[in-house]
Amino acid sequence: MIHRHPYRYLFYSGIANGVGDRFSQVAVLTLILQLTGAGPAVELLRVYVSFLICCPLAGPSHW
């Protein structure tokens, strides 16, 4: 499937998106650590609270 052009672009864009998300998390964690000194705890709280709020609103992906 990776040899098909449309799927290849989708696959590589998904990888780039994931890498960008991780860079963003590291940047936010570094900024929070510099500002407050409580980086890891605040970052985990930010990630999991947003996950717990958004997932029930999104609903199941399939029935």
> Could you tell me if residue 28 is inside a domain?
yes
Give me the mean pLDDT over the 36-44 stretch: 72
CA angle 37, 40, 34 (to 5 degrees): 30
Is residue 60 over pLDDT 70?
A: no
> Could you tell me if residue 63 is inside a domain?
no
pLDDT digit string (tens) for 4-30?
778 888 888 888 888 888 788 778 777
Which range marks the domain in which residue 44 is found?
A: 5-58
The mean pLDDT value of the chain amounts to: 75
Phi and psi based region of residue 62 (left: phi greater than 0; alpha: psi -120 to 50; beta: remaining): beta
pTM above 0.85, yes or no: no
Of residues 58 and 1, more confidently modeled: 58
With H, G, I as helix, E, B as strand and everything else as coil, classify residue 39.
helix
Domains in the chain, number:
1
